[in-house]
Amino acid sequence: MNSKSNTNLQELYTTMKRIRVFEERVAELFVRGETAGSMLHLSIGEELGPACVTKAMIDGDTFTTHHRGHGIFLARGGDPDKMMAEIAGKKDGYCKGKGGSMHIADMSLGHLGANAIVGGGIPTVVGAALSYKYLNKKNVSIAFFGDGAMQQGILYESMNMAALWKLPVVFCCINNQYGMGTKIDDAVAVKDFSLRAKSFGLECLHVNHLDAEKAYTDIREIVDNTRNNKPSFIEVECYRFYGHARKDKSPYRNEDEEIENRKLDPIAFAKENILTQNILNEEEIKSIEMTVDKEMDVSMNYAINSPLNEEAEIFTDVYDKSYTIESVDSRINNILKNK
């Protein structure tokens, strides 16, 4: 039974399930009016990439994510309590409630930041990899971004520099077929993204199936290879099961398409494999699911019960601690006092 690869599948399944349920609880938190706003981008349906790529990471590796980054962060070890609290804009969140869903991060896990600017976090990993090469570390830095970011010029400047300087960078495109309401066919003339990456001199891997175990093996290989200063490009194809952000009901695509594509569920696929390969039985899977459910319920309640941050927090973290920012209120009152 529990051969190495079987444990891999079981682990990947659990990670993907945790992402799915985490995101479902974020959706619930939103419906209950407990999130900071509605700019919440869920990775439901896209769990395979985050689970497999983060599993190929080692201590000291770093990464940046796009705005749809909850899943990647959670898979890399993010604490769902603090993540959920951040999404709620609360004091106990990873960034004190000042960053929110789109800027969630934990530097101690090598998370160099989620980003609300499409493409904004990509060159950061080139710089991180420059450090590793200079400091003689065997680490890689990975940029996660969507198919929409494939159309940002900054990606190509980054690819070129990474290839030119032979840096341990992984460019990882989570291709969910849409950039907001724009289908990929309306955004590019040639969909084979690897062609672009190859032309810069990057190693390429294109994952377009639901087999997490196989994806992990292939991704592991290319990421390990990248550690030897061979920059790479990984594209993971998937489908964005729901709207772009919480308020988007996807009127620009038809229901048949959605129903058809939601069948491409990496979690259901993994579960099926686990059962047919007799890695776990129904009951054991049920027990994993219940554990995950409970974990995420606890996190949701943690976020709800976390206090609001104090107003003074508006002014912290802008500069080094020695620099204090005077509030507008204080400036105005001083002026009016002086006459």
Partner 1 sequence: MKIPEQDFFEKITFRDALRLAMYDEMKDDKNVIILGEDVAKYGGAYGATKNLLEQFGSDRVIDTPISEPTIVGTAIGAAMTGLKPIAELMYVDFFGMSMDQIGNQSAKIRYMFGGQISVPMVIRTQGGTGRSGGAQHSQSLESWIMYIPGLYLVMPSNPNDAYHLLRDSLKTNTPTVFIEHKLLYNFEGPLDKKNKVQFGKANILKEGNSISIIAYSRMTNFAVEAARKLKEDNISAEIIDLRTLNPLDKNTIINSVKKTRHALVLSEGHYTTGVASEITSIIFENCFKVLKKPVIRYTAEDTPVPVAPNLEKNYVPTVDRIIDYAKKIIT
Ligand X SMILES: Cc1ncc(C[n+]2csc(CCOP(=O)(O)OP(=O)(O)O)c2C)c(N)n1
User: Which residues are at the interface with ligand X (CB under 6 A)?
Assistant: 41, 66-68, 116-118, 145-149, 176, 178-180, 240, 244
Say whether residue 290 binds partner 1 (CB under 8 A): no
Verify binding: residue 237, Mg ion, rule CB under 5 A.
no
Which residue lies nearer to partner 1 by CB, 165 or 252?
Answer: 252
Contact partner at residue 66 from partner 1, Mg ion, ligand X, none, CB < 5 to 8 Å by partner kind = ligand X
Contact between 83 and 74 under an 8 Å Cβ cutoff? The reply is yes
- In 97-210, which residue ranges form alpha helices assigned H by DSSP? 122-134, 153-164, 193-200
Q: Which does 154 bind (CB under 5 to 8 A by kind): ligand X, partner 1, Mg ion, none?
A: partner 1
CB nearer to ligand X: give 257 or 284.
257
Q: What do you get for the CA distance between the two ends of the chain, in Å?
A: 82
Burial status of residue 186 (CB atoms within 10 A of its CB: 0-12, 13-18, 19 or more): exposed
Looking at 99-107, 123-131, 162-170, 208-216, which segment touches partner 1 (CB under 8 A)?
Answer: 99-107
CA dist., res. 3 & res. 146, Å (int): 34
Beta partners for residue 237, in sequence order: 175
- Give yes or no for residue 168 binding partner 1 (CB under 8 A): no
Taking CB under 8 A as the binding criterion, the range among 3-11, 42-50, 56-64, 96-104 that sits at the site for partner 1 is 96-104
CA-based nearest residue to 69, from 101, 35, 22 = 101
Contact with partner 1 (CB under 8 A) among 89, 168, 231, 266:
89
Residue 190 engages partner 1 in binding (rule: CB under 8 A): no
Token pair recorded at residue 58: 């080692």
Residue 50 in the binding site for Mg ion (CB under 5 A):
no
Residue closest to Mg ion, measured at CB: 146
Q: Where are the alpha helices (DSSP H) in the chain?
A: 4-31, 48-55, 70-75, 80-87, 122-134, 153-164, 193-200, 212-226, 255-262, 266-276, 282-305, 328-338
CA atoms within 13 A on the CB side of 102: 15
- 335 is a contact residue toward partner 1 (CB under 8 A): yes
83: which 2 tokens?
A: 């993540």
Site residues, partner 1 (CB under 8 A): 36-39, 89-90, 97-100, 102-103, 115-120, 148-149, 151-154, 179-182, 186-188, 252, 308-309, 311, 313-315, 318, 325, 327-329, 331-333, 335-336, 338-339
Site residues, Mg ion (CB under 5 A): 146-148, 176, 178-179
